[in-house]
């Protein structure tokens, strides 16, 4: 079944759905149908000729072709309606006698049934549709399926979709050769760069760059900017260089071992700082955390021309330090990062 236009469900980091929607709209010439804030979901209509570009998006985890949407109630007997929705989805068109499939379930809300019940009913409905409409019985293969059928049951909403990105989420970019123990998700690095308002030719510094995620994402976005990656730990700088080599951008970035609380010793000025300082607990005592943060911020404002963007769970203290140094907060938002909800702060002189 060939169609001109596909409805695609994109998943992203909760808290940056608007940034993902802007990227999807701009890069894929898509029309946005729905942005589910704080749920990490964007639904858009994408024309067939743009589907190949989905892999290049920097702000999304996964993409799925939506086959069918519907609604069900919460009781066990309502699973009959789920079976009907899967049966009507046209999923059989994507199967062949040699192919296999697996069901992946995302469930949220209170229902009498659980995810295993959904998977069982949806799996049977896929087989039944293939037997009825195509005359063969497809194989189930949970490890290496030819296609992955996703069934989302979020409260009473049902979405049946096909995974476009296999099982490898796009935020695990291929360049992560060196696995920094507190690495930032590349999707969040991208979002922070967008929020910084950086333009090509502006210089960028990440003064606590770890494995280099922010500067590597910047190298993908910006062609002419000078990019600096500084960390006090030489092991992380060696790792960041390896990651940059894997990303084929090593010639675009200058790497330094140095102390962010003494920034002005290494760099006289930069246009933009984007950074993911260590979360408090890794720096030792609360007093030590406050000292590092305030010395770093005092140095950062003294060398930065345009904006400073930080992701931190210690946002009250960081905001106060920025304000005490005469800067203002132009934007603030909460994002999900692991099990934490740090804030992204954008500060301007
Ligand atoms: C949360 S990690 C950054 C991770 C990075 N965004 C990534 O994706 O790999 C924080 C980094 O700050 C570095 N750091 C801590 N104190 C520092 C200081 N005073 N100067 C420079 N780097 C520092 C740590 O070595 C660590 O690599």
- Distance of alpha carbon 255 from alpha carbon 41, whole angstroms: 35
Cβ-based neighbours of 309, under 8 Å, separated by 6 or more? 192, 193, 195, 196, 272, 273, 274, 275, 344, 345, 346, 347
Q: Are residues 123 and 210 in the same domain?
A: no
Q: Are residues 192 and 159 in the same domain?
A: no
What CATH number corresponds to the domain at position 241?
3.40.50.150
Cα 348 to ligand 1 centroid, rounded to whole Å: 22
For residue 180, is it within any domain? Answer: no
What per-residue confidence (pLDDT) applies to 291? 87
Reading across the β-sheet that carries 304-312, which strands appear in turn?
253-257, 227-231, 204-206, 270-275, 304-312, 343-348, 328-334
Residue 5 DSSP label: E
Cα 205 to ligand 1 centroid, rounded to whole Å: 13
Q: Distances from the Cα of 157 to the Cαs of 71, 110, 153, 200, 227, in angstroms?
A: 5, 12, 6, 42, 45
For residue 267, is it within any domain? Answer: yes
Q: Are residues 100 and 135 in the same domain?
A: yes
Residue 224, pLDDT > 70, answer: yes
162-171 mean pLDDT: 63
Cα 208 to ligand 1 centroid, rounded to whole Å: 4
Q: Are residues 202 and 101 in the same domain?
A: no
Per-residue pLDDT reduced to its tens digit, 52-81: 899 889 999 889 999 999 999 999 999 999
Cα 22 to ligand 1 centroid, rounded to whole Å: 29
For residue 179, is it within any domain? Answer: no
Cβ-based neighbours of 253, under 8 Å, separated by 6 or more? 212, 215, 216, 219, 227, 228, 229, 240, 244
For residue 331, is it within any domain? Answer: yes
249-253 mean pLDDT: 96
Q: Return the closest-CA partner of residue 116 out of 164, 79, 71.
A: 79
Q: Is 276 in the pocket of ligand 1 (CB under 6 A)?
A: yes
Q: Are residues 199 and 159 in the same domain?
A: no
Residue 78 sits in which domain range? 5-163
Over the range 268-298, which residues count as b (16 or more CB within 10 Å of their CB) and which as e? Answer: eebbbbbbbbebbeebeeeeebeebbbbbbb
Per-residue pLDDT reduced to its tens digit, 254-276: 999 999 999 999 999 999 999 99
Q: Are residues 80 and 201 in the same domain?
A: no
For residue 27, is it within any domain? Answer: yes
- Distance of alpha carbon 111 from alpha carbon 18, whole angstroms: 30
Residue 167, pLDDT > 50, answer: no
Determine the 3-state secondary structure of 346 from DSSP: strand
Pocket test for ligand 1, best of 232, 240, 258, 267 (most atoms within 8 A of CB): 232
Domain count, the chain: 2
For residue 33, is it within any domain? Answer: yes
Q: Are residues 57 and 201 in the same domain?
A: no
Q: Distances from the Cα of 243 to the Cαs of 149, 277, 279, in angstroms?
A: 33, 19, 22
What percent of the chain shows pLDDT beyond 70?
Answer: 95
Q: Is 183 in the pocket of ligand 1 (CB under 6 A)?
A: yes
User: What is the value of pTM for the model shown?
Assistant: 0.92
Query: Which helix H or strand E contains 151, and what residues bound it?
Result: strand 147-154
What per-residue confidence (pLDDT) applies to 290? 85
Q: Are residues 75 and 152 in the same domain?
A: yes
What per-residue confidence (pLDDT) applies to 258? 96
What per-residue confidence (pLDDT) applies to 152? 95
């Amino acid at each position: 079944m060939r169609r001109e236009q596909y409805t695609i469900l994109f998943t992203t980091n909760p808290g940056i759905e608007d940034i993902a929607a802007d990227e999807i709209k701009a890069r894929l010439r898509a029309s946005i149908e729905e942005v589910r804030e704080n749920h990490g979901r964007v639904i858009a209509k994408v024309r067939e000729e743009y589907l190949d570009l989905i892999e290049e998006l920097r702000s999304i985890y996964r993409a799925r072709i939506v086959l069918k949407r519907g609604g069900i109630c919460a009781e066990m007997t309502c699973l009959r309606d789920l079976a009907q929705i899967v049966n009507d989805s046209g999923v059989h068109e994507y199967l062949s006698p040699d192919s296999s499939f697996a069901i992946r379930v995302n469930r949220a809300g209170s229902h009498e049934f659980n995810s295993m019940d959904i998977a069982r009913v949806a799996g049977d409905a896929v087989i039944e549709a293939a037997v009825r409409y195509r005359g063969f019985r497809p194989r189930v293969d949970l490890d290496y399926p030819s296609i992955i059928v996703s069934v989302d049951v979020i409260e009473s909403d049902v979405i049946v979709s096909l995974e476009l990105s296999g099982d490898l989420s796009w935020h695990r970019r291929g360049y992560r050769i060196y696995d920094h123990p507190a690495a930032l998700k590349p999707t969040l690095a991208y979002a922070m760069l967008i929020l910084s308002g950086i333009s090509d030719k502006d210089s960028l510094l990440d003064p606590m760059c770890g494995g280099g995620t922010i500067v590597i994402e910047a190298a993908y976005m910006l062609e002419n900017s000078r990019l600096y990656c500084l960390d006090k730990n030489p092991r992380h700088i060696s790792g960041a260089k390896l990651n940059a080599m894997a990303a084929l951008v090593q010639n675009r970035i200058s790497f330094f071992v140095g102390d962010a609380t003494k920034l002005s010793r290494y760099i006289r000025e930069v246009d933009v700082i984007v950074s993911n300082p260590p979360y408090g607990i890794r720096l030792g005592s609360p007093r030590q955390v406050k000292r590092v943060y305030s010395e770093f911020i005092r140095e950062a404002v003294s060398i930065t021309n345009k904006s400073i963007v930080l992701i931190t769970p210690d946002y009250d203290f960081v905001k106060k330090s920025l304000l005490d140094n005469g800067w203002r907060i132009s934007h603030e938002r909460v994002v999900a990062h692991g099990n934490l909800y740090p804030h992204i702060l954008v500060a301007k002189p």
